[in-house]
């Protein structure tokens, strides 16, 4: 029978597949990245409120906890903004490939955050991931703007994961998700206000966009967000980040099937992805072997 860690790892890979589909939705939705994230966190927060009411869960927290969750909401919201920006100015495959740098960065930062010894094979796999990413860089320099946006998105994602890995030890995942997504909504609203975009034009969207946004907000955010936070009880931030490296694999396959020729890449590009895929598989194997 599978233990909690193994079940969490399998469940999280299903969530990562959903994350891969998120990139496709970002390509299909016609509005800009700030609007996408605004609708995303609004729909997700409302969905979680309904779940909390149905389950009659308490979401009371202290002021210090609230401030920490608001900060995490800021990090994840801006991660999504730059993620969708990258997709808009490049494509799904290029954007998702850059996300793999998260594991490389996390392998060095996690020991400082959690006061743990550096695990040698985690650093090795992080270097392999970095090598794969460099190959991707060399083949896609014409998408430099998208690559820069994706790199910024990675940094926000890494710090969000590291901080959330601590918060999950003393707060339920549903409570964390509610406050982070709700604060994300207010933060993006404030940014839109500063940009002069917070007007009636904000909610003028097509029926197709509304459908994709509903899927994005409910399945790809409310459900996926709660579960991805919950599995942090059993998985380390590094395992979370290196598992997220499967998001480009899933997303690229879906992009190729659904978006066609725009997502075709050179053979060298796929060599880089093989290195990333190899590191994910070996990391999971070694962790299960140690267990």
Q: Is residue 265 part of a domain?
A: yes
Residue ranges making up the domain that contains 281: 11-290
Q: Is residue 1 part of a domain?
A: no
Q: What is the value of pTM for the model shown?
A: 0.84
- The per-residue pLDDT for 288 is 62
Whether residue 6 is predicted with pLDDT greater than 80 in this model: the reply is no
Q: Is residue 134 part of a domain?
A: yes
Q: What is the DSSP letter of 119?
A: P
- The per-residue pLDDT for 196 is 87
Question: How many domains in the chain?
Answer: 1
Q: Is residue 154 part of a domain?
A: yes
- The per-residue pLDDT for 119 is 73
The tokens describing 3, both together, are: 């233990």
Q: Measure Cα distances from 34 to 6, 13, 63, 80, 167 in Å.
A: 36, 27, 28, 9, 27
Query: What's the whole-number mean pLDDT along residues 218-243?
Result: 79
Q: Is residue 156 part of a domain?
A: yes
Q: Is residue 4 part of a domain?
A: no
Q: Name the more confident of 184 and 106.
A: 184
Q: CB–CB of 110/116 below 8 Å?
A: yes
Q: Is residue 3 part of a domain?
A: no
Q: Name the more confident of 111 and 46.
A: 46
Write out pLDDT tens, residues 161-208: 888 878 888 888 889 999 999 999 999 999 999 998 888 888 889 999
Structure confidence at residue 265 as a pLDDT band (50, 70, 90): low
How much is the mean pLDDT over the chain? 83
């Amino acid at each position: 029978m599978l233990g909690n860690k193994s079940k969490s790892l399998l469940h999280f890979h299903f969530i990562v597949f959903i994350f891969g589909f998120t990139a496709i939705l970002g390509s299909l939705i016609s509005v800009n990245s700030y609007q996408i994230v605004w609708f995303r966190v609004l729909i997700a927060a409302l969905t979680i409120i309904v779940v909390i009411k149905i389950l009659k869960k308490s979401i009371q927290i202290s002021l210090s906890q609230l401030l920490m969750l608001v900060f995490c909401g800021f990090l994840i919201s801006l991660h999504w903004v730059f993620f969708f920006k990258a997709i808009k100015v490049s494509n799904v495959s290029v954007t998702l490939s850059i996300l793999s740098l998260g594991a490389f960065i996390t392998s060095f930062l996690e020991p400082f955050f959690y006061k743990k010894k550096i695990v040698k094979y985690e650093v090795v796999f992080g270097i392999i991931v970095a090598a794969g990413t460099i190959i991707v860089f060399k083949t896609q320099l014409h998408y430099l703007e998208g690559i820069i946006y994706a790199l910024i998105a990675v940094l926000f994602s890494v710090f969000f994961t590291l901080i959330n890995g601590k918060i999950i030890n003393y707060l339920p995942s549903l409570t964390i998700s509610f406050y982070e997504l709700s604060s994300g909504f207010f933060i993006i609203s404030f940014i839109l206000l500063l940009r002069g975009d917070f007007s009636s034009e904000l909610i003028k969207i097509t029926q197709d966009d509304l459908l994709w946004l509903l899927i994005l907000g409910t399945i790809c955010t409310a459900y996926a967000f709660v579960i991805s936070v919950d599995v942090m009880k059993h998985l380390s931030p590094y395992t979370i980040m290196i598992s997220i490296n499967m998001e480009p694999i899933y997303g690229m396959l879906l992009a190729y099937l659904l978006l066609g020729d725009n997502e075709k890449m050179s053979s060298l590009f796929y060599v880089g992805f093989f290195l990333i895929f190899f590191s994910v598989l070996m990391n999971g194997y070694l962790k299960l072997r140690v267990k």
